[in-house]
Each structure stands twice: as structure tokens, then as C-alpha cells.
């Protein structure tokens, strides 16, 4: 197998110019395993600054810049929105789409998420598509149904052959920012379900698709999580704001 691992930092609405500069310089000291990519996703106002700071710190090409959201529209009268071409102009190559906070707080539906994935791919950006169930859905054994309902509209919209360029991040909502990580076994079982769901449509795509785990990943639990057969890295929130901890997480990832 030759599946790359990805560790992506989702800063959410946190950070500052000072963090942009210190993180870029700290990341230049990390040694990554082969076939590992690190993606840093700060808020929109810091994207250009991170691009600049990465060149100044001489960050290797294994480090990429990501945005946390994008508009499904190309341009026009959409106050407050940010287009794919704007993101690309400031050096962005990845974009998080359908994060549970966007789905729940900003009411993004799975069909809007699918449109955003399509817009990202059409522009040549790599979408990190987030899926995940709530605690209530897990307790009532709806997890697989919920994940299927989040994945299918994207597959229907873009076609399975384009799914090869999508990174999927499984983030159980109950594990986000709560310190309640899914156990490595539970995370693996759900990742395996997602890969098999895709494999039923196209085995080749499923084998290549990087599948990340997110939800209270930290320097202590990352190794065991990343060792699972279907976990190819992580989408990291809180721990990605602390350079020392984030560096440990980056070094723990290995391609499979
Ligand atoms: P935490 O790592 O803070 O739980 O956040 C996970 C997340 O939502 C990343 O997108």
C-alpha cells in the first residue's frame, strides 16, 4: 500500500500573528516520517501571513496551507464569503469542508457541503471533508446511517472517481474539544466502516483515500490512534495551537 498520512491543524477561531510566526519557525524543526504531510489551517486573515512565514522559515514542501471554509460560489455579491481563487492566490492548497461546527452552528447541510467540495475540486484545492455523529446518534446506534448520509451527497455530486482527491476526516462530535477521545478500537471500527462504504462503490479509491481521525487528539494518544490500520493521521484542534505538542503529533504520523 502507498497511502500518505496527513496531520492537519484546525486552529478554528484562535491564534494570532504571533502564533503564525512562532508556529512556522517551530515546524521547520520537525522531522516527519516518509509520506507524511502537515497542513496548517489558520483563520482567513492569517493565511497570507502563514504563507510568508513558511517561506521565511524555509518550511519543506511537505508542509501545506489550508483554509477552514470556502464559498461554493466563484465570485460576486456574497458579502463575507471567500472564494477558491482568493484562497489559491495566498498559497492555500487544502480546505476543510463540512466541519461539525459549520454543520451545527451555521446550519450547513450535506448538500451545501457537497457543493463546496465540488467547488474546491474544480479549482484544484484538496478538500478535507469532515463527517461524524453526535453523542445521541452514537448512543442510538445511528452512527453508520449518519456517516452514510453525510458521504453519499458528496459522492452523488462529484462522482466516485473524483473522490480520490478528497481527504475524509472522521470527527465524532462528542469527542471534539471535550477531552473524550474515541478509543483507538472504536475509531478504527468506524474508519473501517467508512473505507468499506467507499470500497463498495470503488475499491481503488477506498485504498488510496487518506482517512483522518479528529477529536481530542493529543501528544499522549496520537501514537496509538495513528497505529490503527485505517487511520492515516489526524485533524487536530486544541493541541495544534501548542507548538511542542503539535510537533509530537506530527512526528507520530506514518504513511501506510
Ligand atoms: P479538538 O482536537 O480540540 O478536539 O478539535 C478537533 C477538531 O474539531 C478538529 O477539526
Mean pLDDT of the residues in the chain: 96
Ligand 1 near 241 CB (within 6 A): no
Band of residue 34 on the pLDDT scale cut at 50, 70, 90:
very high
- Ligand 1, atom nearest to 217 Cα: 2
Judged against a pLDDT cut of 70, whether residue 1 lies above it is answered with no
- 198-227 pLDDT per residue, tens: 999 999 999 999 999 999 999 999 999 999
User: Is the shortest distance between the CB of 68 and ligand 1 below 6 Å?
Assistant: no
Domains contained in the chain, CATH given:
5-252 (3.20.20.70)
Ligand 1 center to residue 178 CA distance, Å?
A: 9
- pTM of this structure: 0.97
Tens digit of pLDDT for each residue in 43-70? Answer: 999 999 999 999 999 998 899 999 999 9
The share of the chain scoring above pLDDT 70, in percent, equals: 100
Give the pLDDT confidence score for residue 250 in this predicted structure. 98
Residue-wise pLDDT tens digits, 77-121: 999 999 999 999 999 999 999 999 999 999 999 999 999 999 999
Residue 196: pLDDT above 90? yes
Using the mean position of ligand 1's atoms as its centre, give its distance from the Cα of residue 77 in Å: 32
Any ligand 1 atom below 6 A from CB of 9: no
Q: What is the 3-state secondary structure (H, E, C) of the chain?
A: CCCCEEEEEECCCCCCHHHHHHHHHHHCCCCCCCCEEEEEECCHHHHHHHHHHHHHCCCCCCEEEEECCCCCCCCCCCCCCCCHHHHHHCCEEEEEECCHHHHHHCCCCHHHHHHHHHHHHHHCCEEEEEECCCHHHHHCCCHHHHHHHHHHHHHHHHCHHHHHHCEEEECCHHHCCCCCCCCHHHHHHHHHHHHHHHHCCCHHHHHHCCEEEECCCCCCCHHHHHCCCCCCEEEECHHHHCHHHHHHHHHHCCCC
Which three cell numbers mark 253?
A: 504520523
Residue 9, pLDDT > 90, answer yes
Determine the pLDDT at residue 177.
86
Average pLDDT, stretch 24-48?
96
Q: 45 forms bridges with which residues in the sheet?
A: none
User: What pLDDT, on the 0 to 100 scale, is given for residue 123?
Assistant: 97
- Position in ligand 1 atom list of the atom nearest CA 177: 4
Catalytic residue positions?
99, 171
Is the pLDDT score of 162 beyond 70? yes
Residue 236 Cβ < 6 Å to ligand 1: yes
Is any ligand 1 atom within 6 A of the Cβ of residue 104? no
Amino acid at each position: 500500500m502507498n497511502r500518505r498520512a496527513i496531520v492537519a491543524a484546525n486552529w478554528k477561531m484562535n491564534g494570532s500573528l504571533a502564533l503564525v510566526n512562532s508556529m512556522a519557525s517551530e515546524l521547520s524543526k520537525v522531522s516527519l516520517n516518509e509520506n507524511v504531510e502537515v497542513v496548517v489551517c489558520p483563520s482567513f486573515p492569517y493565511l497570507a501571513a502563514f504563507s510568508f512565514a513558511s517561506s521565511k522559515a524555509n518550511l519543506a514542501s511537505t508542509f501545506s496551507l489550508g483554509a477552514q471554509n470556502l464559498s461554493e460560489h466563484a465570485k460576486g455579491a456574497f458579502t463575507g464569503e471567500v472564494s477558491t481563487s482568493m484562497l489559491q492566490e495566498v498559497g492555500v492548497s487544502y480546505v476543510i469542508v463540512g466541519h461539525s461546527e459549520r454543520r451545527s452552528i451555521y446550519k450547513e447541510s450535506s448538500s451545501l457541503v457537497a457543493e463546496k467540495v465540488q467547488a474546491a475540486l474544480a479549482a484544484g484545492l484538496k478538500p478535507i471533508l469532515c463527517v461524524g455523529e453526535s453523542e445521541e446518534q452514537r448512543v442510538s446506534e445511528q452512527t453508520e446511517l449518519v456517516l452514510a448520509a453525510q458521504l453519499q451527497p458528496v459522492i452523488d455530486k462529484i462522482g466516485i472517481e473524483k473522490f480520490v482527491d478528497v481527504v475524509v476526516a472522521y470527527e465524532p462530535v462528542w469527542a471534539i474539544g471535550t477531552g473524550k477521545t474515541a478509543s483507538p478500537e472504536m475509531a478504527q471500527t468506524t474508519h473501517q466502516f467508512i473505507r468499506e462504504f467507499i470500497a463498495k462503490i470503488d475499491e481503488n479509491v477506498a485504498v488510496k483515500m487518506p482517512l483522518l481521525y479528529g477529536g481530542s487528539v493529543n501528544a499522549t494518544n496520537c501514537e496509538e490512534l495513528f497505529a490503527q490500520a485505517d487511520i492515516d493521521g489526524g485533524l487536530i484542534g486544541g493541541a495544534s495551537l501548542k507548538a511542542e505538542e503539535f510537533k509530537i503529533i506530527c512526528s507520530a504520523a506514518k504513511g501506510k
